[in-house]
C-alpha cells in the first residue's frame, strides 16, 4: 500500500520559495535549509521545496519541475514495488538508494512526471 504524502517542487531557492508558500498558504515552515524546505499542505500532505541542482538524481533538475511522493511501510515494500514497476515497463529514473530521508527510488509516468517512493517506516494504514 502506498500513501500520498508529499508534493516536491524543484526550485531555484528553497528558502525564498518557503517564504512565498508560507505567506500564500498561511502555513509555518517546518524544515528549512539552503537545499530544502518543507511546510504542511494539510494534516497528512507536505510540500517539499528542493534545490533543483540537488534534486537532479536521474533527471534534469530544472526549477519548475516537480514530483509526487508516496510513502511505503519499509524497504521490503519499496523493493517489491520497484520490481513490480520494472516488470510493468514503468521507467525507473533513479534506482533504489539511501537518502537522508529514507530508502527511495524515482520512476516516471507516461508524460515524464517524477514519482518518488520513500520507505521511511512511517506509512499510514488506511
> What would the pLDDT profile of 88-98 be if each residue is shown by its tens digit?
899 999 999 99
Helices (H), the chain: 14-25, 75-87
Helix (H, G, I), strand (E, B) or coil at 62: coil
Share of the chain above pLDDT 90, in %: 43
Q: Does residue 41 carry a pLDDT above 50?
A: yes
Sign of CA pseudo-dihedral 49, 54, 57, 61: positive
Residue 99 within a domain:
yes
Residue 108 within a domain:
yes
Confidence of residue 1 (pLDDT cuts 50, 70, 90): confident
Can you give the pTM of this predicted structure? Answer: 0.65
What's the average model confidence in pLDDT over 54-74?
Answer: 74
Quote the cell numbers at residue 48.
517539499
Residue 124 within a domain:
no
Question: In this predicted model, what pLDDT tens digit does every residue of 10-29 receive, in sequence order?
Answer: 888 899 999 988 987 889 99
Number of domain units in the chain: 1
CATH number at residue 40: 3.10.180.10
Residue 59 within a domain:
yes
Predicted pLDDT at 126: 34
Residue 52 within a domain:
yes
Residue 37 within a domain:
yes
Higher pLDDT, 118 or 57: 118
What CA dihedral angle connects 94, 30, 40 and 111, to 10 degrees?
-20
Residue 125 within a domain:
no
Higher pLDDT, 33 or 70: 33
Residue-range definition of the domain harbouring residue 38 = 3-119
Q: CA 60, CA 42: separation in Å to the nearest integer?
A: 29
Q: How far, rounded to the nearest angstrom, does the alpha carbon of residue 27 sit from its chain's CA centroid?
A: 19
Q: Does residue 108 carry a pLDDT above 60?
A: yes
Residue 126 within a domain:
no
Q: CA 64, CA 17: separation in Å to the nearest integer?
A: 11
Amino acid at each position: 500500500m502506498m500513501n500520498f504524502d508529499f508534493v516536491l517542487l524543484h526550485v531555484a531557492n528553497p528558502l525564498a520559495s518557503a517564504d512565498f508558500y508560507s505567506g500564500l498558504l498561511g502555513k509555518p515552515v517546518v524544515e528549512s535549509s539552503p537545499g530544502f524546505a518543507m511546510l504542511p499542505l494539510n494534516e497528512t500532505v507536505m510540500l517539499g521545496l528542493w534545490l533543483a541542482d540537488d534534486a537532479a538524481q536521474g533527471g534534469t533538475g530544472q526549477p519548475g519541475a516537480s514530483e509526487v511522493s508516496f510513502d511505503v511501510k519499509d524497504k521490503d515494500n519499496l523493493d517489491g514495488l520497484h520490481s513490480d514497476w520494472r516488470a510493468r515497463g514503468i521507467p525507473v529514473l533513479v534506482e533504489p538508494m539511501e537518502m537522508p530521508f529514507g530508502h527511495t527510488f524515482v520512476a516516471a509516468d507516461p508524460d515524464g512526471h517524477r514519482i518518488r517512493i520513500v520507505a521511511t517506516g512511517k506509512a499510514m494504514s488506511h
